[in-house]
Structure 1
Amino acid sequence: MLTLLGMMRSRAPEIIPSRKVIAGRLLDEAASTVDQKLFNILKGQALGAVTDGWKSLTKDSVSGVCVNVEYKSYTIELADVTSMDKSGPGMCKQFCDIIDRLEAKYGCKVIYFVTDADGGSKKGRVLLGKQRLYLILPSCWAHQFQLILGDYFKVNKFAAQTAEMTTALIGWINNHGKSPENL
């Protein structure tokens, strides 16, 4: 077995593309294929756009943009937004840029735009509504529910403790080798 692995390892550079090739030409070709497929799907469509932000493992701020068309969701872009302005006007500008890029690149029309429910996003969404009166601009209901649940846990300590213990148990199950079906 070790001999076989040694033979495979010695031939790997001839068979496996280099990091440079994968990160360059192959990745560019794959991205181009995906862009063309998205263009064909989104061209001429009236669609909804959704943006959401989170912290990466390295604590960078990341923002994702998805579109919804014909009951399907498509990821359009992920961006490092760590250094971007997250005030209301700054978020409004980012939202406008996202909509403009989508409509220009894919030949579609954004009719609704969903954002986070936090301060900067909320203010940006309000400002966006004043600039683009035709848009439907709901906040994310999942985020709204999360805020309501947080308020509930503040007044019901037993529920908060139960949720914490449940989360810890789920984390333990997910991080151990056995599949959930065997538990």
Structure 2
Amino acid sequence: QNQFAADLCRLFIVANIAWYALEIPFVRYFFMKYIGEANLPGRKELSGRVLNEEASKVTDRIKLEVKGHCATGQCDGWKNISKDHIIASVINAEYMTYLVNTFCITKERKNAENLLEIVLSQIKYFTEVLQVTVVAWCTDASGDGSKMRRLLVQRLPQIFVVDCWAHQINLVVGDIFKAASIQFKELLDDALEIIKWFNSHTRALGMLKDTMIVKLRKALCLILPVITRWTSHYLAVRRLIDAEHAFVQLLLHKVDQLLLCAGDKDDAKEKAAEVIRKLEQPGFFARLRRLADHLAPLAIATNLFQSDDTRLDIVLIALASLYHIFSDDSLDLSVRRAVLASLEKRWAKQDQAIFVLALVLNPYIRVSAFSRSSN
């Protein structure tokens, strides 16, 4: 019975099933009919005692895996579905990441001092309960996060503090669209307008997906990028490129039907005609491919930086690689200048010595990556 309750708790968590589902009569009927031998726990028992027991098992397993190791702590915040502000603490030890605790700080002031108290309590928890040695702490580059890291070093000078470089690269992408040439900005705006229009007109989207199945043998979703989804601008552009043949086929044979999808209002018809004109621009998809070529190295770096096994020496090598890539004269000058300036600005704010030391301590590289004239 205890094992059944524990597995049921895990099932509800991994399937994202609400606890109140246990109080739905048909759910209880289903379990009684097909699993009649087991005593089905109620919502309060499953989300209370059983959940607490499972959480304790997870903590014991984490402790067993990380005990005695050095670890990096991390924290970040978000709003959940109930609009509560949540802070989560994470540790990374031996190339594995573990979610440890979450805190609801909806009623608290969102400042660096309060964040510092949470971090200090977590360092104490990691040290005393999980029995690890915390050697570094990582946050994003928000004002509160940056100030908290400065305060943390004042309290615990033996700890290294670092920015989340996946977030930093996302900011570099933002700098591109602030400083890039008007042609690049307009191209991205056109791409987003096309995505929005098709996603908001179900009949047109259905026609596009039918054409995709014929031309590509599968239906692809058009991706609308959002700022909190790193790499989504690249993926949005890439998806349009992947669907190029379907768009071309649709424009060749069903333009009139696409216009009808807009409805009867004149402004809606004009919007549909505008979207079609954007798709029919000479060289539109060729220019999209060039835009994707500029965004791809940054998307790759972002995925590299947000992996569980990223090290400081990897960050430095990847940054050097990005600097080399965007020094290529074949790339758009405005994008090159924006990326190089952004990388230099963000690198200047780092504790550079620890990155260089990590690279020198890499037994496969040592000092071979540095110029002989480098200081």
Instruction: Indicate the TM-score class for this superposition, using the shorter chain for normalisation.
Output: 0.7 to 0.9
Q: Which moved more, 1:144-153 or 1:59-68?
A: 144-153
Q: Which residue of 2 aligns with 1:72?
A: 96
Structure possessing the higher radius of gyration over alpha carbons? 2
Residue of 17, 25, 47 corresponding to 2:49: 25
TM-score by length of 1: 0.79
Q: Which residue of 2 aligns with 1:117?
A: 141
Partner deviation per Cα, 1:135-175 (whole Å, 9 max, x = no partner)? 110011122122222222223423652674598589x99xx
Q: Which residue of 1 aligns with 2:107?
A: 83
Unaligned 5+ runs, structure 1: none
Residues 1:149 and 1:159: Cα distance change in structure 2 (over 3 Å): farther
Q: Which residue of 2 aligns with 1:161?
A: 189
Residue of 218, 226, 246 corresponding to 1:182: 218
Matching of residues 22-171 of structure 1 within 5 Å: 22-156=46-180, 157-158=185-186, 160-161=188-189, 164=192
DSSP 3-state at the match of 1:62: strand
Contact 1:153 1:159 (C-alpha < 8 Å) held by counterparts: no
Contact 2:69 2:94 (C-alpha < 8 Å) held by counterparts: no
Unaligned 5+ runs, structure 2: 1-25, 210-216, 220-375
Partner deviation per Cα, 1:43-64 (whole Å, 9 max, x = no partner)? 2111111111112223221111
DSSP 3-state at the match of 1:137: strand
Q: Which has the higher helix share?
A: 2
DSSP 3-state at the match of 1:133: coil
Two-structure CA RMSD over aligned residues (Å): 3.3
Q: Determine what percentage of the aligned residue pairs are the same residue.
A: 27
Q: Which has the higher strand share?
A: 1
Q: Which residue of 1 aligns with 2:32?
A: 11
Contact 1:154 1:160 (C-alpha < 8 Å) held by counterparts: no
1:82 and 1:42 map into 2 onto residues whose CA distance is 31
TM-score by length of 2: 0.41
DSSP 3-state at the match of 1:138: strand
